[in-house]
Amino acid sequence: MESLDCPSCNEKIEVTWKQYWRSGLGYYHCPHCKDKSKFQTKPRWVQFSSWALQFFALMACYASFTTFGFLGSVSLLILIPVFLFDKHLDTKFGNLVTAT
Ligand SMILES: [Zn+2]
């Protein structure tokens, strides 16, 4: 299970896909104490590599759409491992701090 520690109650917060998408807005809600905590981003080089990877994946999808038309939509599948990887980086390098 991939998880982050809640800064308020020190319980582990499981990083579900729902939490992951919401963390795009910068906040996690602890299921144990209901406190809101702020996701502190990964080290900058990790964040930028991940963004670069997402950017190239999107470009590859776009290129394949324009080349193969509808068939090119299959290339969207490469976004799955890209987001899985990014989610993994969130739990590996990110941490939560109490929201002010
Ligand atoms: Zn908590």
Give the Å distances, CA to CA, from 26 to 2, 66, 78, 94: 18, 34, 25, 11
- Segment-wise mean pLDDT, segments of 10 residues, the chain, 100 residues: 90 90 81 90 87 94 92 89 92 87
Neighbours of 30 (CB within 10 A): 20
Distance 91 CA to ligand 1 centre (A): 16
CA of 24 to the centre of ligand 1 (A): 19
User: How close is the Cα of 11 to the center of ligand 1, in Å?
Assistant: 6
Distance 45 CA to ligand 1 centre (A): 29
Predicted pLDDT at 56: 95
Helix (H) or strand (E) holding 38: strand 36-40
Other CB atoms within 10 A of residue 28 CB: 23
60 C-alpha to ligand 1 centroid (Å): 40
Output the CA 52–ligand 1 centroid distance in Å: 32
Cross-strand bridge partners of residue 28: 37
Query: How many folded domains does the chain comprise?
Result: 1
Q: What is the DSSP letter of 78?
A: G
Query: The domain containing residue 44 runs over which residues?
Result: 3-98
Distance of CA 63 to the CA centre of its chain: 24
Give the model's pLDDT for residue 60: 94
Ligand 1 centre to CA of 82 (Å) is 29
**CA–CA dist 67, 26 (Å, integer):** 36
